[in-house]
């Protein structure tokens, strides 16, 4: 079983190179050409590391968010982050902060998401972002979110080297060439691609759980990533580490939105690591699955801690790594702590009719 980390006493540093202002609406029906009337508008600060820091704060874990912002939209982003009372540091850039938006169509139950690529950064801007973790004392650094134009593909690999030099553990949520470059550099403590991102990375289409498990095991065996968590939406997630595999099934809920689900997963995993409660060594091994894109945003509503706890009885843990390859059912493992982390995904978002 993997080595248990010490309980962290320092803030978790999160780094967001490409933050966004997240707009969310609901509409009865989306049709071309005609005006689409939208209701229940919400405006939130978004972007990988910012979302992670937000959920960590709700879970009682201290976080420090480093992010970039610029233009008139950058001022709005700063105001939104100030409202969250998140400690952090903003690096000003010449370009404008991007805006992303999602529209939930009521008659179909589908969500439409529009995500811009963001303004290009000049070298001085991304170098400034890279230098920030060097100046801060941390046990964990979380790099989450896309790389904007102008940033070299090996940025996360450089961040990996910085974390290693500081003796910090790097938790990385990225994809494609950026993840490949970082894995080649080595020393990633935890990487979290989605199933689709992992398929792109490995140039494979997985037809079974066994194929996914084999690929995840091989990827970890390569040495660049110590722990690999592959999120699979409604099908749960798979964790591969140096001595085994674990899998957890997803909650059965009505899909509403996927906005921020992966970031909430990273926050839940990080919170468990900080609490020293990850990958226990006894027969009922368990780990949190706070990634359930079905448990998500409803025009900006957020699930309260009380609502999170309503999900506890629905959470099922797996305890036998071999069961992943055998394809058998996983034994349940009941722990209020793990259940709480599991439904932490819903903090950034909300289930329709469940928030409150």
Cβ-count burial 42-56 (b if 16+ within 10 Å, e if not): bebbbbbbbbbbbbb
Q: Give ∠ CA 68-76-121 in degrees, rounded to 5.
A: 25
Q: What is the DSSP secondary structure assignment for residue 2, as one 8-state letter?
A: P
Cβ-count burial 1-15 (b if 16+ within 10 Å, e if not): eeeebeebeebbbbb
CA 319 to chain centre: 23
92 in active site:
no
Question: What is the four-CA torsion angle of 243, 323, 173, 276, rounded to 10 degrees?
Answer: -60
User: 13 to each of 52, 62, 139, how far by Cα in Å?
Assistant: 10, 9, 9
Quick check: 171 and 266 in contact, CB under 8 A? yes
Quick check: 318 and 250 in contact, CB under 8 A? no
Q: CA end-to-end span of the chain, whole Å?
A: 39
| Residues 6 or more apart whose Cβ sits within 8 Å of residue 237 | 229, 230, 231, 247, 248, 250, 265, 289, 291
Q: How far apart are CA 46 and CA 225, in angstroms?
A: 27
Of the residues 139, 156, 173, 263, only one is catalytic, namely: 263
DSSP annotation string for 128-148: HHHHHHHHS--SEEEEESPPP
Q: What is the token pair recorded at 71?
A: 């233009």
Q: How far apart are CA 53 and CA 45, in angstroms?
A: 11
- E strand or H helix at 34, and its extent? none
Quick check: 133 and 15 in contact, CB under 8 A? yes
- Residue owning tokens 């990988």: 48
| Active site positions, annotated | 263
């Amino acid at each position: 079983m993997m080595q248990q980390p010490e309980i962290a006493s320092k803030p978790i540093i999160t780094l967001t190179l490409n933050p966004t202002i997240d707009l969310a609406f609901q509409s009865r029906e989306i049709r071309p050409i005609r005006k689409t009337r939208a209701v229940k508008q919400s405006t939130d600060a978004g972007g990988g590391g910012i979302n992670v820091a937000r959920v960590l704060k709700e879970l009682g874990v201290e976080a420090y968010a480093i992010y970039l912002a610029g233009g008139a939209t950058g001022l709005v982003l700063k105001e939104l982050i100030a409202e969250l009372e998140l400690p952090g540091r903003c690096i000003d850039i010449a370009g404008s902060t991007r805006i992303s938006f999602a529209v939930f169509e009521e008659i179909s139950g589908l969500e439409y998401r529009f995500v811009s690529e963001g303004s290009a950064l000049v070298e001085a801007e991304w170098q400034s972002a890279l230098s920030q973790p060097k100046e801060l004392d941390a046990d964990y650094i979380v790099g989450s979110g896309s790389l904007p134009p102008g940033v070299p593909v090996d940025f996360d690999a450089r961040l990996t080297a910085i974390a290693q030099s500081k003796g910090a553990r790097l938790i990385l949520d990225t994809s494609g060439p950026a993840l490949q470059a970082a894995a080649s550099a080595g020393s990633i403590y935890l990487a979290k691609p989605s199933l689709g991102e992992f398929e792109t990375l490995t140039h494979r289409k997985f037809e079974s759980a066994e194929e996914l498990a084999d690929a995840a095991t091989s990827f970890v065996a390569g040495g660049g990533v110590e722990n690999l968590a592959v999120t699979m939406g409604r099908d749960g997630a798979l964790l591969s580490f140096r001595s085994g595999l674990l899998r957890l099934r997803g909650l059965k809920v009505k899909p509403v939105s996927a906005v921020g689900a992966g970031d909430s997963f990273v926050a839940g995993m990080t919170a468990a690591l900080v609490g020293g409660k990850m990958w226990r060594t006894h027969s009922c091994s368990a780990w949190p699955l706070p990634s359930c894109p079905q448990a998500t945003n409803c025009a900006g509503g957020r699930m309260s801690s009380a609502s999170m706890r309503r999900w506890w009885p629905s959470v099922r843990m797996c305890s036998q790594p071999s069961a992943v390859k055998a394809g058998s059912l996983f034994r349940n493992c009941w722990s209020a702590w793990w259940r709480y982390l599991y439904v932490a995904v819903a903090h950034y978002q909300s289930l329709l009719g469940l928030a409150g």
